[in-house]
Amino acid sequence: MNHWKPELLAPAKNLERLKVAILYGADAVYVGGQKYGLRARADNFTDYDLKNGVAFAHKYNAKVYVTLNAFLHDADLEGLGDYCQFLESIGIDGVIVSDVGVLRVVRKSSNLNIHLSTQASCLNSSSAELWKQFGVKRLIVGRELSVAETGLIGEKSGIDVEMFIHGAMCMAYSGHCTISNFTAGRDSNRGGCIQSCRLPYKLENQDSNPITFMSSKDLWGVHKIEDFFKHKICSLKIEGRMKSSFYVAMTCKAYRQLIDAYLEGTITPELLEKIASNLESIPHRDYSSGSLENPADSDSVFGQLSGNNRGTHEYLGIVIDTTSDYLALQLLEPLSVGDEIQIIPPKGEIINWKITQLLSVMGEALDSIQKDSVVCIPRVDILQDINQFTVIRLSRQKTVYKPELVTHS
């Protein structure tokens, strides 16, 4: 039996998603603070949230990495040294950097572990060896690399390597895009991306309909789990610091199952199909293997105009509190007596449940309740093991295109 296993690394937009990620199987999470990162539009973590997040993660033997991966101007560097000292003081397990100047500040002001961001476009072992000399402990390689190429870099340079294995992809080389600068006056490389590449465009003086030609399909690595082990990819990273708790829960649960099943020798076509089906339930663009096996080509372009809401199920809500008798749900969709829901525990099978009773937080019986509300349902025997931060989806399915699952032995 193979006892070595890669880390499963998940995104966390805020404290709720951090807890969801860890409870659903993530070994580590990456988060952003209020400054210095590339996801300025995410909720991001206050200093207080970071302290609480680290305490929660370490309680479950998980790690927390903080993104300092924006390309900073001199004025942006103000306070970075003090911030690094704060991160070290609360036990942050590492920081993710792109810029050599930021790396230098981190090293001068703290003893934090440094991970090199994919934005730095590390694509070969010579580059990896240089970054290692600079004090980098882990490389998050450019998404242009295959699993085999990444494994070879790790082997030649003697440094840990990390890959994105699921989520949204950028059309630009290693994310070095300036479209948002021109369309919205926001610098993508300093945290201001508005995803202008996802929009339909029409060529001037042509009568053709608008098309999307820069929007990438979403990445998934379901069929590459064997290769991740074979090539000693130390960390498997899920994209999505702007995504919902539903997305975080379903992706963590799926890849946790894959990693554990590979270690146990229990991967079957049926398991792969079930995992693929659950990943189809979350909002996504069509899935693609990107460059995990071969260089991405025109087949990796998402040419639809319908956006990314192609999931088969609607995210209903999340359990925010429990008592011995009731579960309190924060709803994102309306709910009525008679509706059928699916409760998705961190471990075990999905629970199908028909709503027979709804109560307000004051204990009043309800026939229905609108979205963005809190409602209680009875905690019957089958729901006794359901705890806070469990996600729930509606049972009814939407009709969407389902790409063929590619598998290999």
Domains of the chain and any CATH numbers: 7-300 (3.20.20.70), 315-394 (2.40.30.10)
pLDDT value at residue 143: 86
Q: What is the 3-state secondary structure (H, E, C) of 98-156?
A: CCHHHHHHHHHHCCCCEEECHHHCCCCHHHHHHHHHCCCCEEECCCCCCHHHHHHHHHH
Ranges of residues in the chain with a pLDDT under 50 are 1, 401-409
Q: pTM of this prediction?
A: 0.90
Strand pairing category for 315-322 and 326-331 = antiparallel
- Tell me what percent of the chain is helix, strand and coil, each rounded to the nearest 5: 30, 20, 45
pLDDT in tens, 284-304: 888 888 889 887 777 777 877
Residue 235 parent element (H or E): strand 235-238
pLDDT value at residue 290: 86
Buried/exposed 343-370: b ≥16 CB within 10 Å, e otherwise:
bbbbeeebbebebeebbeeeeeeeeebe
Structure tokens at 389: 């931060």
